[in-house]
Amino acid sequence: MGRSVRDVVFVDGVRTPFGKAGGAFAGTRSDDLVVKSFRELLRRNPALPPAAIDDVAVAATTQIGDQGLTLGRSAGILAGLPSSVPGYSVDRMCAGAMTAVTTLSAGIMAGALDIALAGGVEHMTGHPMGEGINPNPRFVAEKLVDTDALVMGKTAENIHDRYPKITKERADRFALGSQRKTAAAYAAGHLQPDIVPVAVPSADGWSLISVDEGPRPETTLEGLAGLKTPFRPHGRVTAGNSSGLNDGATAALLASEEKADELGLTKKMRMVGYAFAGVAPEIMGVGPVPSTEKALQRAGLAIGDVDLFEINEAFAVQVLAFTDHFGIDDEDPRVNPLGGAIAVGHPLASSGIRLMTYLARDFEMNPTARYGLTTMCIGLGMGGTVIWENVNYAGAK
């Protein structure tokens, strides 16, 4: 018996505030951050019977300690889901949450699932990047991977080398824009609705963290110009034009469009398609270029059809390599209109859903925008892109 591919909708997305490594969430468990996000999704969507959730996938890059024990299952139990709801863990480094979404969505498209929860978390205080890894010596001995590939900042410097038109001044200017757009988005109240406040122990008992720790609205070009370049003497990559080291979690509710309509769930955007692609690991930041080309080709779209872009700002140079390739101006208002990771942070495996939540908000504010995409570079030389359609598209512009 033949089956048709079903449409997948993004019902809702939330995140915790993103804390600085060693900051507000230093004493908070990773799984508790996921649980907080899941519980908020359930609270916001009372029409959803928890027992109707068919599967749960949660991503983490470092899957040990409180980021181990099959997070999708353990966090689901801790969040109060019925024991009948299964779960699993995902790892695709920075694109972990993105992969949780696409993998669950593939199940929905095929009719194996109706409703699913996706999540991502990274506690870089407790699990610094690279903790516990043991790279195979063949990577270096047989020159399978350049040693720069294991240090993300060096891969960003390599992109500057490859594209000399992307100067440090351009990268700093883009970083300043991210800070300014984030400050404006907070001032306008665009980010707060999707942030889940988290209570943390403090010297006075408990504190409620409700905003990101990373943004620096006081940033200036002069200040950025004077920062050190830790990855290379006289380099171009600094703490100011890169994302930080962060703690945080994200979660998203996905459903078949048919099931969402049946239950009366909100539909924020519809998945059009997705793609992942590989590049040389030592220039991993260019990964979003081939993944976007592949996703567009499969969807029968062109870059000119895309009205909104949410690009993960792992490094400013990485975003600029993408926009230069596709002929998009550095200050194009379609790109990261609410700011990005340079300001709010990048807790690795959680960031893919943060991009989706931002895009859903972008669509809400721009009803004449039909298509948008979320894209990010991925460690060891990959890129991931998901194309979405605004379900409330108001027609031709």
**Helix/strand/coil (H/E/C) assignment for every residue in 95-160:** CHHHHHHHHHHHHHHHCCCCEEEEEEEEECCCCCCCCCCCCCCHHHHCCCCCHHHHCHHHHHHHHH
Nearest alpha carbon to residue 126 among 76, 48, 80, 62: 62
User: Distance from CA of residue 250 to its chain's centroid?
Assistant: 8
Nearest alpha carbon to residue 384 among 325, 311, 306, 334: 311
Pairing between β-strand 371-378 and β-strand 382-390 as defined by DSSP bridges: antiparallel
Give the active site residues: 94, 346, 377
Q: Is the CB of residue 291 less than 8 Å from the CB of residue 277?
A: yes
Alpha-carbon distance of 285 to 315, in angstroms, equals 8
Nearest alpha carbon to residue 50 among 12, 80, 9, 13: 80
